[in-house]
Amino acid sequence: MRRVALASAVGTTIEWYDYFIYSTAAALVFGSQFFTTLEPASATLAAFATLGVGFLARPIGGILWGHFGDRVGRKAMLIASLLLMGFATVGVGLLPTYDQIGIAAPVLLLVLRLLQGLSAGGEWGGAALMAVEHAPAGRRGLYGSYSQIGVPAGLILAQLVFVAVGVLDDEQFQAWGWRLPFLFSIVLVAVGLFIRLRIEESPVFKALKTDQVRARLPMLDVLRERPRELVIASVSFIANTAIGYVFLAYLLSYGTSVLEVDRTTMLIVVIIGSVSWLVSIVASARWSDSIGRKPVYLVGSVLLVVWPVPFFLLIDTRSTALMILSVIVLTIGLGASYGPQSALFAEMFDARYRYSGASFSYAVGAVLGGGFAPLIATWLQTSTGTSLSVSGYMVVVAVISLLAVMAIRETRRR
């Protein structure tokens, strides 16, 4: 179990590190590297648009990895998704800029981003199921959280790397320093691959294979037998991913470009919030093993409804202490609505099509929520001149997900 937990946590950390350095670079540097013909504000919008386009590939990845994960096995798909993400990330680090190859630069950036989206569409489902399906009775929530902590852990690692390259002056950072976090992915992928090759296949999938009850077309079986769960699971994730990406991608851009706060200070604020997010994920997942998935989800969902307005009011003070307080409370809500998710989504779908159902729900929720959240937030703030418009957007998506969470049927004792 320790090896499986480590494989789930380390693997998703590496995957999301790759994903988040793209988000950070989109906020800090991609506008000036790949969209130099645009005004600075428009260039930032274009960079965030490529971030969102990557999300469109995630449902396709969820279907693709889910199909083979339910047919071939969880472990093989985990390895494939890790290799694909590593290839795409290193490719971004080696990509020539617009000044060097013209329009081909943003086009290739978009292609590599789509490959990242395909990988992320299947990564989470495999990591979550490997952890949950290996878990002892009564501890699926806790063990499922190991795949969940990869998100804040990957974010922390990504921000620390950008803090490290922040010692470079602006000219060095713009010229070549921003590439280093992407190239560092080679080392991380090698570590993750070593760990994942040493774990055993899920015992649940082994049983399916032995009993010859694997679904022939798992996604079609999900649509036919579990349409309600598919919709509820997808919608319940909209708020978490939308507000999560406002925190991890937009906040950095907003703090440095609009509030004119020092880049290192904003990175530190995001890192502290990520630590809070990680701790709350584990705590809430463990709590869900005691009282159920739905009550914990409700706590997090309600907090995401009531906190967005105070969140930006505190951020706008430019006070480091108040900004830290703001992100800590927000990430507690994010953790409570994310920690139990692996166990919940796994329990909502039968084993023979579980990879497909869980991955597709996660991917669709990510597209509807997080796909264009930084872009929407940037547009709202630019159009209205106030961060409260972004708060309003966060409240709307939080209410939508809260309604879905209220419709969830408790799954803990399944």
What pLDDT, on the 0 to 100 scale, is given for residue 340? Answer: 92
Identify the residue with better confidence: 233 or 202: 233
The predicted model scores a pTM of 0.85
Q: What is the mean pLDDT of residues 72-100?
A: 87
**Integer Cα distance of 338 and 393 in angstroms:** 20
69 pLDDT exceeds 90? no
Q: How many whole angstroms from its chain centre is CA 242? A: 10
Identify the residue with better confidence: 23 or 110: 110
How far lies 36's CA from each of 27, 113, 254, in Å?
14, 19, 20
**Integer Cα distance of 126 and 325 in angstroms:** 34
Element (H, E) at 86: helix 74-94
224 pLDDT exceeds 80? yes
- Hey, how many other C-beta atoms are within 10 angstroms of the C-beta on 14? 29
Nearest by Cα to 255 from 341, 199, 317: 317
Question: What does the angle CA 236 – CA 273 – CA 186 come to, to the nearest 5 degrees?
Answer: 90
Chain-wide mean pLDDT for the chain?
A: 87
**Integer Cα distance of 110 and 36 in angstroms:** 16
Backbone angles phi, psi at 149, to 5 degrees: -70, -10
What is the share, in percent, of the chain residues with pLDDT greater than 90?
A: 30
What pLDDT, on the 0 to 100 scale, is given for residue 278? Answer: 92
Q: Are 203 and 133 in contact (CB under 8 A)?
A: yes
Backbone angles phi, psi at 198, to 5 degrees: -95, -5
Element (H, E) at 83: helix 74-94
Element (H, E) at 113: helix 104-134
**Integer Cα distance of 126 and 119 in angstroms:** 11
Residue 328 burial (CB < 10 Å; 0-12/13-18/19+)? middle
The alpha helices in 307-384, defined as continuous H runs, are 308-315, 320-336, 341-348, 354-369, 373-384
Q: What is the DSSP string of 43-54?
A: HHHHHHHHHHHH
Question: What does the angle CA 18 – CA 159 – CA 48 come to, to the nearest 5 degrees?
Answer: 60
| pLDDT tens figures, 305-315 | 999 999 999 99
What pLDDT, on the 0 to 100 scale, is given for residue 327? Answer: 95
| pLDDT tens figures, 168-183 | 887 888 888 889 989 9
| Gyration radius from the chain CA atoms | 20
At 137, the pLDDT band (50, 70, 90 cuts) reads confident
How far lies 161's CA from each of 156, 185, 256, in Å?
9, 11, 18
**Integer Cα distance of 132 and 204 in angstroms:** 10
172: three-class secondary structure by DSSP: helix
Amino acid 172 reads: Q
Q: Are 377 and 254 in contact (CB under 8 A)?
A: yes
